[in-house]
Amino acid sequence: MHLAFTPLQSSHGKGFLVFGDVYWATHQDGYLTFSFEDLPPDTRQWLQIPPKSQVFCMALRINPQEPVTDVVVLADYGQNRWSESTLSATVTFILQLAWWQHQQRVIEKLEASKEELQRLNWYKHRRLEEIYRMAALLVSQLRDLGVPRNELTQMRYKLLMRQLEYTTNSMVGVIKYEQWQLYMTSETMSVSSLWKRSLERVDNLVQQRQLWIGVHGLGQSNEDRESQKTSSSSTNFLIAANKSTMSISGDILKIELVIYELLIAACERSPIGDKIDIWCRPLDESNLEILMTDNGSMEPELLAILNQEASKYSLSLNNLQHKQITHLLICQHIIHQLGGQLQIYKLDDNRLVSRLVLPLSLQTQSGELNSSLSI
């Protein structure tokens, strides 16, 4: 007995060549049987069966209305006649195989839907966290102002109200365009502004763990650098800059949330009182490379999953590890959608590196890009 599980393709496409005899089976509700003598020479050569063989063909589908993508071909090399019980058992087996294939396809679709909804849920949750943080800050400032009594206070009050309106209005896009799937926008932001906003978000966590974050290669002038060091003296941030100007393009809000996720992970796994270094440098004329190094640790299995060397559905991971790897895999997917890359790996000195590649804006691409930074 010879079994062929054959994907249907045209004679000009890739894969098996489908002959008329087999093609007939796709238009039948049941099965077709052929003897060796009934088959044309081309079909005999394709099946590679000896004389006196019997051939059985049946489409692999669960109902006649379903489009056919595969057909089962069975060949008996003997001269035996197939009994009704044998044919009935064969049909039952093929129907069970068709149901199994159908279930596999359903599972694949559900898994893809689940992953998309996980990404959407992560993104919305992080956005809501940021909205809450900004709204709470603005409300606190409004409360401190009290009832405006003079012109200066009224101006400040109106400014805070506009900021509060902007914060709440920023959710309109999420509600309107991202109800069931992510919607990618395209904006531009300087790298220095990106890191200023990103580091502000993790300030409390950095203080709690007594960490130092050093950012190297930002495109700021010396005056900007001194001003920022003075205004941020209460935080453990050290910014070193050169005179180049770099900007990135893409969905800035989502990029900020990915960087926030990477910063959280680096801070939580770093030893208390340790330092995190961040290096920003042009990778080429079109891309910016960000390297974030820390002295924390990560399970080898998690690194293998992030580098697609192991299954993300490993049963040996605990709930916390599943949460961590799910968030990082979501970030990888989002950055890939934006035309970038996200990798996490270990150096020879056991430092962990979070490598992020982002598209540079056209304004940056038209300027000079020079960098000699190394980690």
Residue 153 lies in a domain: no
Q: Do residues 348 and 252 make contact, with C-beta atoms less than 8 angstroms apart?
A: no
Structurally, the chain folds into a number of domains equal to 2
Q: Is residue 208 part of a domain?
A: yes
Over range 292-309, report the average pLDDT.
89
Which of 82, 114, 132 marks a domain boundary? 82
pLDDT bin (cut points 50, 70, 90) of residue 314 is low
Are 224 and 343 contained in the same domain? yes
124 within domain boundaries: no
Reported as type and span, the H/E element at residue 34 is: strand 31-35
CATH number of the structural domain spanning residue 348: 3.30.565.10
190 shares a domain with 75: no
- Least confident segment among 22-36, 96-110, 274-288: 22-36
Determine the pLDDT at residue 364.
61
pLDDT band for 366, please (50, 70, 90 cuts): low
| Between residues 263 and 99, the one the model is more confident about | 263
Domain membership flag for residue 54: yes
Quote the pLDDT of residue 349: 94
- pTM of the complete model: 0.63
% of residues, the chain, pLDDT over 90: 32
pLDDT tens string 232-256: 434 566 655 444 578 999 999 999 9
pLDDT-derived band at 138 (thresholds 50, 70, 90) equals: confident
pLDDT at 11: 36
Span 54-68, average pLDDT:
79
Q: Which residue has the higher pLDDT, 326 or 358?
A: 358
Contact 225, 241 (CB under 8 A): yes
CA gap 366, 313 in Å, rounded: 44
- Output DSSP code: residue 149: -
Mean local confidence (pLDDT), 155-169: 81
Are residue 64 and residue 197 in the same domain, yes or no? Answer: no
Residue 125 domain-assigned (yes or no) = no
Residue 79: is its pLDDT beyond 80? no
**How many residues can be counted in the chain?**
375
Sequential DSSP letters for 132-167: HHHHHHHHHHHHHH-S--SHHHHHHHHHHHHHHHHH
Q: Is residue 110 part of a domain?
A: no
The one-character DSSP state at 360 is B
Query: Which whole number is the average pLDDT over 213-230?
Result: 56
Residue 345 resides in a domain:
yes
My answer on whether 203 and 335 are in the same domain is yes
Last residue of one domain, picked from the residues 65, 82, 99? 82
327 shares a domain with 193: yes
pLDDT at 172 over 70: yes
Asked if pLDDT for residue 81 goes beyond 90, the answer is: no
Say if residue 344 is in the same domain as residue 234. Answer: yes
Residue 179 within a domain:
no
What is the domain extent for residue 281? 184-365
> Final residue of a domain: which of 63, 82, 101?
82
